[in-house]
Structure 1
Amino acid sequence: MQRSLGTCYYPEHWDEDLWHQDARQMVEAGLSWVRIGEFAWKRMEPDEGKFEFEWLDKAIDILGQAGLKVVLGTPTATPPKWVVDKYPDMLARDENGSLRKFGSRRHYCFSHMGYLEQCRDIVTRLAKRYGNNPYVAAWQTDNEYGCHNTSISYSAVARDGFCAWLRTVFRGKNNDGDIAALNRAWGNVFWSMEYDSFEDIDLPNLTVTEANPAHVLAFRRYSSKKVVEFNRAQVDIIRQYCDTPIAHNYMGRITDFDHFEVGKDLDIASWDSYPLGFLEDRVGASKQEQIDFSLQGHPDFQAFHHDLYRAVGKGRWWVMEQQPGPVNWAPYNPAPSPGMVRLWTWEAFAHGAEVVCYFRWRQASFAQEHMHAGLLRPDNPPAPARTEVQQVKSELSDAIDIIKDKARIALILDYDSDAMWSIQLQGKSL
């Protein structure tokens, strides 16, 4: 297996005068892959039906002619304001019923059919235009499903979709829904919770005390299914125009949708590996472990996710975003110890990764992630990680190949079981 390196690049953030220089320096740094496009919907379609792809044409040509292979992302994680204005009810609501407004990213509800059609349109136009482009060597659907707690929405459209889905699950003899069967399955005789129709069923939030666990689990299953369907819609469109491999970049410790079901439609699983950021905000490490691993990340967390996504990808997996330095989004954001970026890269390769891409090429000089490190400083000098990346590149030719074999021991991750652990809370010692 040939291992290679890459980076994430945002040509729309920089003057075109820099694009040639950036492409040349990426190659000089030993990079082979570059991901672009996943947050650029507004630049692709500034107003509904008005498309401006010429800048993207130029960026792909410059990168490709320099010898880089492009991963083209669909931009559906960042719908522009005009899309939200067209479909104001596409915005998700959190468990408390609060609107999740425009102004960052992932501001959509998976259940909204109008938004899904809008996504189909932009993905179709991208696939038609770039499906046969020789420089586009892979695709990425959307970006980080579930990040920022966005798999599950408590919106009105989610409620309508949930009720319709329940009718198909409990379809009855005449396929028109059997509400009595649902009441029996959920044990709704308890606390006099029996429903008279599917339309009576609300979402399992804002109840006085805990909602029925069966109700919550059913909504988790429905929400997972909507993620799968959303991803599949994009994959089906791309496959009409090319046979280029398609990936999605999953996150760490997000289990409110079934990654294996999403992965069935993809060629490659990838994930975004942020060892220091994750240590602070999702590993569940003790205070002492956070101190002990503060500059390198928890090795078990990284190893688990490498193996998880190798399984989700049916043997083919990448790291689409590798932390190259301090991040901006964790409670504390230290710089990794010298050599850790190299170590994280080799750890991924040892677990069978085909590609490791670093996020990002150049540190942004504005907006939410302007304190997130890259391989270059905002004013272009190399950041410390770039030296480590070049060292990895120099070592790749001498690295032994990974022998693919079946292990004697397997780990099982069951998403329903994980859901029940969160729905029916247990003691900390368990």
Structure 2
Amino acid sequence: MLLGVDYYPEQWDPSMLEADMDRILELGCNVIRIGEFAWHRMEPEEGRFDFSYFDAVIAMAREKGLQVIFGTPTAAPPAWLIRKHPDILSQFDNGAPRAFGGRHVACYSSVPYREHCAKIITALARHYKDETAIMAWQIDNELGHEGSDLCWCPRCRAAFQDFLRHKFGGDIHALNETYGTAFWSQEYNGFEEIPLPTPTITTHNPALRLDWERFCSYKLRDFAAFQSRLLKEIIPHAVVMHDFPGGGLGKHADYAAVAQTLDRVAYNNYPVWGGQKEPLSPSEIAFGLDYIRGLKGENFWITEAIMGAQGHDITGFLPRPGQAKLWSWQGMAHGCEGLLYFRYRGAAKGAEQFCYGILDADNVPRRRFFEVQRFFQEVRPYEQVLTTPVHSGAAILYDYDSLASFRIQRQSILLDCEAEMKRLHGVLFRAGQSVDVIPASRDFSRYKLVIVPNMIVTDPTFTARLKNYVAAGGVAVVTYRTAVKDRDNNLVFGKTIPVDCGDLLGLYVEETESVQAYDCIPIAGETGAGTAGIFRDMIVPQSAQVLWRYDDPFYRRYAAITRNSYGRGAAYYLGTTPDQATLDQVLGQAMERAGLERLALPEGVEAVVRGTTGSQVRILLNHNETAVRALGEALSPFQVKVLPL
């Protein structure tokens, strides 16, 4: 089990190195992460590589018994490189270049940038190919974060045109037909005429915009594969990983595709960030962890766990004593098997002075230091249990094209697909059920319950897989705006929605409405009245059983929520976003039908089962600031208990 800290020794006086290493060992660490932003230190002038500084750092780490995760420094190209090649800088959608001075400012389509990345990575790998202390290589840093997943420069336009030329086999007529460019006289005579979807009057073609999203994703995946390939060519046994940021479902990059280029996935877990008055809810934190675990369907590392307040210019909530340790335990409960804190010591200079670390700039160990130390002491005895795979009975499916489609055409100003997923996930979270958040392309046949939220873009292959799953005895919960468009982001002519799913769900949708408000639609069911909002499908049941109907004067004849038997399984359809009590009831029925256990947990208490048969534990986590009792156990504020089963 990896337990460690992110350490930036180049930011401190070299005389502090040994004392820092000794104190890192005192914490209970066995690994440090270094190097990821130190390009200039490694190559102070073009072609003059100097790794002597990190040689000394790694030699001392090896001597002290610390392993090293070494980062390629490509997220922060040096000033000399930008001076020589200013066109390396990526551009905003108005054509203005991003200024040197931050990070992630390079364009992934830039040939000079790629060439210099190749040189520094090759030199690094050759220099350290026999270094036994380096146990993993981190490529870049938080790919696609902070807007770096988008660039609007001429190089990207040419690369996008090449991307489309390849996709359509050089046939511009095929592109015109697929996009429907006869609309608004947008036919192209050649690929060189195709624009970037920069701001215009009204809007660009939705199919073009989806291909632009795919191109942006392709660039990042290709960049990750390029780095991984370089390292593997020189160090075949290298463990290559990447530290993904939060909010992956909102990026213009398919992180699951990027993850396939890696040996290991890591996550930078920030339950609170600058300006937040309070942390994310426990279920939202859990959702992020479950999503990261789902990128490869494997356990993961956390490369940035927090202990202090965070923020670049505006700081936020300070985790209460014991709360950040609780979040660390939560990470381990959800499949993290190696955790490093960001950072060992808070910076005294530079943009992250207010990202507080384990130590402050005064270098005095206080509460946060000892809290980390206690966490490492507490978690280490459970290494065997916490390194076993997570087995979930339920899965939430997401689709990159569908998420992109909603970014392109939101349809409702209130519809936030990630928020909808989190709401569905939260019901299972509060019932003590483990959930995998996985791409829809992944095999989901082994799950007892599968949730398909707002998957607007589908294809016959996916719908056939979903039908086979339910027919074989699975339980599916499908929500509105699923199976509406084809893979080109176009409506499907001649087919009623949900496309190719009418028999599975036992219904069709006659009309739709975006209501632009929460809880504004009255609904009625056998158990009473409720409300719904955001969007609604006017459902005409065929074989489906009506669970809830709309209860307003014009639309009482339409169903709102249904259940349909299909083969040996059942498919639920949510035609709207119901109030929380109604959602709890419907998903509770689905869980019962799927044979999933529902624990009675107090608000703010999480329960996770880990381990294998015969060697299992239940981890109880109290996220509350007050003491509670759960499953017969007394829990003090932010307490974690590991109970044998």
- The runs of at least 4 consecutive aligned structure 1 residues that moved more than 4 Å come to none
Deviates more, 1:399-408 or 1:307-316: 399-408
Report the Cα offset of residue 112 of structure 1: 1.2
* Match in the other structure for 1:283: none
Instruction: Give the C-alpha shift of residue 125 in structure 1.
Output: 0.6
SS at match of 1:354: strand
Which of residues 263, 270, 273 in structure 2 aligns to 1:267? 263
**Partner secondary structure for residue 145 of structure 2:** coil
CA contact 1:277–1:330 (8 Å) conserved in 2: no
Q: The residue matched to 1:412 in structure 2 has which SS? A: strand
- Asked if 1:401 corresponds to 2:385, the answer is yes
Which residue identity does 2:34 align to in structure 1? I
Q: Deviations over 1:353-403 (max 9, x none)?
A: 111111111111111111110111112112432111111112124437145
Moved more, 419-428 or 391-400: 391-400
Q: Which residue of 2 aligns with 1:45?
A: 43
Q: Does 1:129 align with 2:127?
A: yes
- What SS does structure 2 have at the residue aligned with 1:137? strand
Instruction: State the Cα distance separating 1:332 from its structure 2 match.
Output: 4.5
Residues 76 and 383 (structure 1), Cα distance of their counterparts in 2 relative to 1, 3 Å cut: farther
Aligned letter for 2:272? L
CA separation of 1:397/1:405 partners in 2, compared to 1, >3 Å: closer, same or farther?
closer
Match of 1:76 in 2: 74
Cα drift, residue 329 of structure 1: 3.1
3-state DSSP class of the match of 1:319? Answer: strand
**Size of the alignment, in residue pairs?**
410
Helix, strand or coil: the match of 2:272?
A: helix
Shift of 1:297: 2.8
Measured after TM superposition, the shift of residue 404 of structure 1 is: 2.6
- 1:12-411 alignment, distance < 5 Å: 12-171=10-169, 177-242=170-235, 243-254=237-248, 255-277=251-273, 280=276, 294=278, 296-329=279-312, 331-399=314-382, 401-402=385-386, 403-404=388-389, 406-411=391-396
> 1:64, 1:159 → 2: CA distance?
47
Following the alignment from structure 2 to structure 1, what is the Cα–Cα distance between the partners of residues 17 and 206? 53
Distance 1:395 1:13 in 2: 31
Letter in 2 for 1:410: A
Q: Comparing 382-391 with 74-83, which one deviates more in the overlay? A: 382-391
CA positional deviation for 1:304: 1.4
Larger Rg: 2
Instruction: Write out per-residue CA displacement over residues 113-160 of structure 1, whole angstroms, 9 at most, x where no aligned residue.
Output: 221111011000111111220111111000001111101100111001
Cα separation, 2, equivalents of 1:7 and 1:398: 19
String of CA shifts for 1:264-314, please: whole Å, max 9, x gaps.
Answer: 11111111111111894xxxxxxxxxx6xx1x4322222112112212134
Contiguous gaps of at least 5 residues in structure 1:
172-176, 281-290
Match of 1:284 in 2: none
For structure 2, list consecutive stretches of 5 or more residues without a partner in the other structure: 415-533, 536-645
CA distance in 2, matches of 1:397, 1:86: 49
* Amino acid aligned to 2:281: H
SS at match of 2:77: coil
Contact 1:143 1:248 in 2 (8 A): yes
- Range that drifts further, 94-103 or 199-208: 94-103
Q: TM-score, structure 1 length as denominator? A: 0.92
Q: What's the secondary structure of 2:70's corresponding residue?
A: strand
1: distance between equivalents of 2:376 and 2:110? 44
CA contact (8 A) 1:361 1:376 kept: yes
- Equivalent position to 2:405, from 406, 420, 423: 420
Q: Distance in 2 between matches of 1:213 and 1:191?
A: 13
**Which residue pairs with 2:516 in the alignment?**
none
SS of the counterpart of 2:385? Answer: coil
Q: Structure 1: which amino acid aligns with 2:125?
A: A
| Cα root mean square deviation, aligned | 1.6
Counterparts of 2:132 and 2:262 in 1: how far apart (Å)? Answer: 20
Q: Distance in 1 between matches of 2:337 and 2:261?
A: 19
As a proportion of its length, which structure holds more strand? 2
TM-score w.r.t. the length of structure 2 is 0.62
Amino acid at match of 1:423: I
Cα distance in 1, alignment partners of residues 339 and 313 from structure 2: 22
1:307 and 1:325 map into 2 onto residues whose CA distance is 23
Instruction: Name the SS of the counterpart of 1:134 in structure 2.
Output: coil
| 1:131–1:238 CA contact under 8 A, matched in 2 | no
Does the 8 Å contact 2:213/2:253 carry over to 1? yes
CA distance in 1, matches of 2:70, 2:35: 6
SS in 2 for 1:110: coil
Q: Select the structure that is richer in helix.
A: 1
Q: Once the two structures are superposed, what CA deviation does each residue of 1:202-251 show, in whole Å capped at 9, x if it has no partner?
A: 10012112111111111110111111111111111111222131110111
State the secondary structure of the residue aligned to 2:69. strand
Question: Cα–Cα, structure 1 residues 383 and 364, in superposed 2: closer, same or farther, change >3 Å?
Answer: farther
Q: Is the 8 A contact 1:266 1:313 kept in 2?
A: no
